[in-house]
Amino acid sequence: MSTLTAPPKATAVPEAPSPAGGARGRSRLALGLIAATGALVVISLGSLAVGSRSIDLATVVEALTNWDPGDREHLIVRDLRGPRTLIGLLVGVALGLSGALLQGLTRNPLADPGILGISGGAALAAASSVLFLGIGSVYGYVWFAFAGAAIGGALVYAIASQGRDGASPIKLALAGAAVTAIMTSLTSLILLLDLATLNVLRFWLVGSLAGRSMTVAGQLWPFIAVGSAAALVSGRLLNALSLGEEVARSLGVRLFKARLLVGVSAVVLAGSATAAAGPIVFIGLTIPHLARAITGPDYRWVLPYSAVLAPVLLLGSDIVGRIAARPAELQVGIVTALIGGPFFVALVRRKKLAEL
């Protein structure tokens, strides 16, 4: 007599997470990006309205659309807060994109614009220009800071490129840490030995948007525009690099050219941001993780989200700094550290950082 055996129970296959490339996923992410852009518009208007003297939004809009040079509040909006807000937007975009690029390039979740010697090179060059050339205005040392950022990034890449494996993520991170430590020590030595240099650079060194004019924005926006365009088209390359060198090579990616494009874009963006506002911390480190928590690992979405969310955080921090110690103010670099540090710790505790 044959025994009948019951068919084995079908095991449930866990549902794969909806990819960002699906139609619903793309629609959700597009709506989220539009919402983030709306938040950026609101925070930009707040930056124009809030300060030691509050100005209502109707007056802000009137100052932008129907400027009256005899109106004191219009002058505050157009000549003081307008340039500050514009530079905050530019610097925020540059820091957010450069942080995402560097994390993708080095596959290091703790990478930020300081890891490749960019911020350290900018600070050392700015301090040296003030000490040795007597430059005392931001319009002068901004170019030295930009050049120092580029030299610092190039030096780190040259050191990491030595050897058979080339500029691998680990070698980039180690070379960047070493070069940054040396440059930071030299900058500290200059500031300790020369009080006049410290007085000129003290606000710039902690990160500041105050005292900037449209001249600074005009000097640096072309670099930020070109760097941003190059960054936003690097999403597919970063996706391939995140799979590992062998897989990326098998997909037809030329590793040297891909790393060079991403690295140069990151240096141009971070160098421009640091030159304009000083070495502002935590924006480039925190924002890409926040973007990745929303979008997943697809850099085609991580990059635009980082470009929008970073200026939201930067301008929001600047607003907090203006009202926290009225009639004086806290520089934005201090506020981003106070906000970004606990925020990043909370992000790490809530969600384990992915290995990149």
Kindly report, residue by residue over 83-138, the tens digit of the pLDDT. 999 999 999 999 999 999 999 988 878 778 877 788 889 889 989 998 898 887 77
Which range of residues forms the domain containing residue 319? 280-356
- Same domain for 271 and 300, yes or no, is no
Quick one: how far is CA 98 from the chain centroid?
Answer: 5
Q: Let me know if residue 173 belongs to a domain.
A: yes
Q: Which residue among 278, 295, 324 closes a domain?
A: 278
pLDDT tens digits for 141-157? 888 988 898 899 889 88
pTM, rounded to two decimals: 0.85
* Same domain (yes/no): 328, 264: no
Mean pLDDT of the residues in the chain: 84
For residue 279 the two structure tokens come to: 């070495």
Structure tokens at 85: 């807000």
Count CB neighbours of 287 within 10 A.
30
Q: Which residues contact 202 (CB under 8 A, 6 or more apart)?
A: none
Length of the chain: 356
Question: CA 334 to CA 322: how far, in whole Å?
Answer: 12
Residues 174 and 254 in one domain: yes
Question: Mind listing the pLDDT tens digit for each residue in 153-197?
Answer: 889 888 988 877 777 777 877 888 899 999 999 999 998 888 888
Helix, strand, coil in percent for the chain, rounding step 5: 75, 0, 25
Q: Are 284 and 188 in the same domain?
A: no
308 in any annotated domain: yes
What single-letter DSSP state applies at residue 233? T
